[in-house]
Amino acid sequence: MEYLNDMALFVEVAKARSFRRAAETLGMPNSTLSRRISLLEKSIGLRLLHRTTRRIELTEAGQLYYERSKRIVEEARIAHEQLGEMVAQPSGVLRVSLPVDFATTYLAPMLPEFAALYPGMDFDFDLTPRNVDLVAEPFDLAIRMAAPQTSNLIARVIARLTPRLYAAPGYLQQKGEPHHPSELKQHQCLTMQNIGSWILHREAESVETTVGSRFRGNSVAMIRRLAVLEMGISALPERVVMEELASGQLRRILPEWQLAPTSVYAVTETRLLPAKTQRFIEFLRERLREE
Amino acid sequence: MEYLNDMALFVEVAKARSFRRAAETLGMPNSTLSRRISLLEKSIGLRLLHRTTRRIELTEAGQLYYERSKRIVEEARIAHEQLGEMVAQPSGVLRVSLPVDFATTYLAPMLPEFAALYPGMDFDFDLTPRNVDLVAEPFDLAIRMAAPQTSNLIARVIARLTPRLYAAPGYLQQKGEPHHPSELKQHQCLTMQNIGSWILHREAESVETTVGSRFRGNSVAMIRRLAVLEMGISALPERVVMEELASGQLRRILPEWQLAPTSVYAVTETRLLPAKTQRFIEFLRERLREE
DNA sequence: AATGATTATTCCAACAATGGCGCAATCTTT
DNA sequence: AAAGATTGCGCCATTGTTGGAATAATCATT
């Protein structure tokens, strides 16, 4: 069963009618080539080439074998080329698991452009807060807001989002507008679950302050909604609150200060990615770099 | 270009949907199998299998590759099997170089039977006294009366012919019939070229005697003809003079004595013989053993 | 829940394939 | 005719591959 490579070599030799030329086109020493063909002949038990020191010609069996093998090797080559094209020309279904907020806020607006770029691709988005198991479930890609703990997954940073502070004008009117991070302690600070403090940066300066509020949630949309409803101060990337800023529902506070950037990761099971996945990640990274 | 074997391995794995089972049917350790598939994937740059430690399934690319490769590997297998059948079922043209005397005396009578045995075979006999170059000329086989000096040829003994002494009754009447080998010195002994003496055997006894005559030749037929024409005593295998014995043209002399057997060789360029050649040699050896 | 069974992968020593090199046999050109 | 070029093949140190054991990760069963 281990004769297929040698078959390809034989086809090349038969085509060139010379060991030397065949070895040259194959990029291997003719000593190896000669030996491999000899072994092939031994394994099938008869001669394929009639050898003179100067010239080689096909035996009857060799002629027959060549006719068949030629086609087979050619087909194999084409199969591989098509596989190569799959890497180059993305197609098929891209299955992505990603957070709801990322999907609605970041992905949705840029998706039409990407879809137009690759007409051969279909998409299957799984919007879920849970950490899907990439190995068990057939996802090509997951987008996460934190690096995965399991080390056997490959995580690429596709964006760094810098949260800034926003509040509703109504809220500020009621509670007053803070002019230094230290004043945040007296405010309702709408945070994600498990967040106890904010570290605010201004140039080289940084101030940590414990924050909290009556509301916690694992949804950016929820926090934004609460902020609009005058429930407190939110720390969100600019793009998330773009509409609310434009309409005046939210207003940036402490404009010189910002939180440490949080990374967005594209997580895959392996580095050997089909083109569709590669292009999608590239596209995201390119568009999100601007943030 | 060296991916064909791995392709076959992948087909087996995809078929079995398991490394372990595939390794078993392939008769190789699954460690090797796993590594080879990994290398294949790396070489084409994308994953073919979606792995769980417990189960494997095909990726999109793997599915596509499997569909194509399956057929290719199957065709390759068939090509090899057909080649194997060529070894088993003789067909094609058998090209033999052989001495004229051997052809007419020994081969011709048994050829119809052999030809009937293998209807798929055609024959091309080159009757020549010269030592044809098996390497340069496209002969499958040469039959020689002496072992070849060149060591890179394969010589098989197919017969041992025991020459005995025959003479024409007319010759014996003229010159008298010898009753001991020592008397042969006074006779015309028709020998092949380059033969200066005969060693005659009777049971454990052996006698060497220098022989010679006015005639020498490299043709058995010539010597037989000369013997019939009362020109001397000939040393020939029995089968050669069978007709002359039956018709009384020749008569055996010194019937208890015989010369050392001379071997007949089937000489080939290689041991890797197609069925046609193998069968022909077998057939000859079987029929000539009786001598 | 936890243990045992099954499966893919990784590690490392033994092994085999590789590829320069030289040789012998040809063919070609001066 | 003769020397040079070309070609296939055998030899042997080096490199790369192999395969058994250990490992990690899952599934099934108690």
CATH code of the domain containing B225: 3.40.190.290
Q: How many CB atoms sit inside 10 A of residue A42's CB? A: 13
Q: What percent of chain A has pLDDT over 70?
A: 94
Q: At what angle do helices A60-88 and A275-288 cross, to 10 degrees?
A: 20
Q: Are residues A111 and A245 in the same domain?
A: no
Q: Are residues A175 and A100 in the same domain?
A: no
Q: Are residues A58 and A19 in the same domain?
A: yes
Query: Mean pLDDT throughout B105-126?
Result: 90
- Whether the pLDDT of residue A72 is over 70: the answer is yes
pLDDT of residue A137: 66
Closest CA to B232 of B220, B241, B223: B223
- Whether the pLDDT of residue B291 is over 60: the answer is no
Q: Are residues A154 and A267 in the same domain?
A: yes
* Tokens 């098996």 sit on residue: B134
Q: Please, which pLDDT band fits residue A211 given cuts at 50, 70 and 90?
A: confident
Q: Are residues B170 and B238 in the same domain?
A: yes
Query: Mean pLDDT throughout B77-102?
Result: 85
Q: Are residues A253 and A194 in the same domain?
A: yes
Tell which of B88, B113, B145 closes a domain: B88
Q: Are residues B248 and B107 in the same domain?
A: no
Tell which of A88, A105, A120 closes a domain: A88
What's the pTM value of the predicted model, to 2 decimals? 0.70
Most confident of the ranges A6-20, A89-103, A130-144, A157-171: A157-171
Bridging pattern class, strands A92-98 and B205-210: unpaired
Q: Do A224 and A241 contact (CB within 8 A), yes or no? A: yes
Distance separating alpha carbons of residues A263 and B157, to the nearest angstrom: 83
Q: What percent of chain B has pLDDT over 70?
A: 94
- Greater confidence (B217 vs A211) lies with A211
Query: Mean pLDDT throughout B262-284?
Result: 86
pLDDT of residue B290: 63
Q: Please, which pLDDT band fits residue A130 given cuts at 50, 70 and 90?
A: low
A137: domain CATH number is 3.40.190.10
Q: Which nucleotides of D are covered by protein (CB under 7 A)?
A: 6-11, 18-22, 24-27
Tell which of A70, A88, A106 closes a domain: A88
- Whether the pLDDT of residue A271 is over 60: the answer is yes
A positions 268-287 inside 8 Å of B (CB): 269-270, 272-274
pLDDT of residue A249: 96
Distance separating alpha carbons of residues B66 and A230, to the nearest angstrom: 59
B22: domain CATH number is 1.10.10.10
Q: Please, which pLDDT band fits residue A248 given cuts at 50, 70 and 90?
A: very high
pLDDT of residue B199: 92
- Whether the pLDDT of residue A1 is over 80: the answer is no
- CB spacing of B138 vs A44 below 8 angstroms: no
Q: Are residues B80 and B109 in the same domain?
A: no
State pLDDT tens for residues B119-138.
889 998 988 766 666 666 67
Distance separating alpha carbons of residues B48 and B41, to the nearest angstrom: 6
Give the range of the structural domain holding residue A235, as residue numbers without chain letter.
Answer: 164-260
**Average pLDDT score over chain A:** 86
Strand partners, A200: A207, A259
State pLDDT tens for residues A20-52.
888 888 888 888 898 888 888 888 878 888 887
* Tokens 């010539």 sit on residue: B222
Q: Are residues A188 and A78 in the same domain?
A: no
Distance separating alpha carbons of residues A8 and B79, to the nearest angstrom: 13
Strand partners, B217: B192
Distance separating alpha carbons of residues A177 and A29, to the nearest angstrom: 79
pLDDT of residue A131: 65
pLDDT of residue A290: 63
Query: Mean pLDDT throughout A241-262?
Result: 93
Q: Please, which pLDDT band fits residue B57 given cuts at 50, 70 and 90?
A: confident
Q: Are residues A202 and A250 in the same domain?
A: yes
Number of domains chain B contains: 3
Query: Mean pLDDT throughout A12-25?
Result: 88
**Radius of gyration, CA atoms only, chain B:** 31
B positions 50-69 inside 8 Å of A (CB): 50-52, 57, 59-61, 64-65, 68-69
Q: Are residues A139 and A177 in the same domain?
A: no
Query: What single letter denotes the amino acid at residue B91?
Result: S
pLDDT of residue B93: 87
pLDDT of residue B1: 60
Is B4's Cβ below 8 Å from some Cβ in A? yes
- CB spacing of B86 vs A4 below 8 angstroms: no
Q: Are residues B154 and B129 in the same domain?
A: yes
- Whether the pLDDT of residue A53 is over 80: the answer is no
State pLDDT tens for residues A168-201.
999 999 999 999 998 998 899 998 867 788 999 9
Q: Which nucleotides of C are covered by protein (CB under 7 A)?
A: 6-11, 18-22, 24-27
- Whether the pLDDT of residue B166 is over 60: the answer is yes
* Tokens 């390497």 sit on residue: B135
Distance separating alpha carbons of residues A102 and B278, to the nearest angstrom: 75
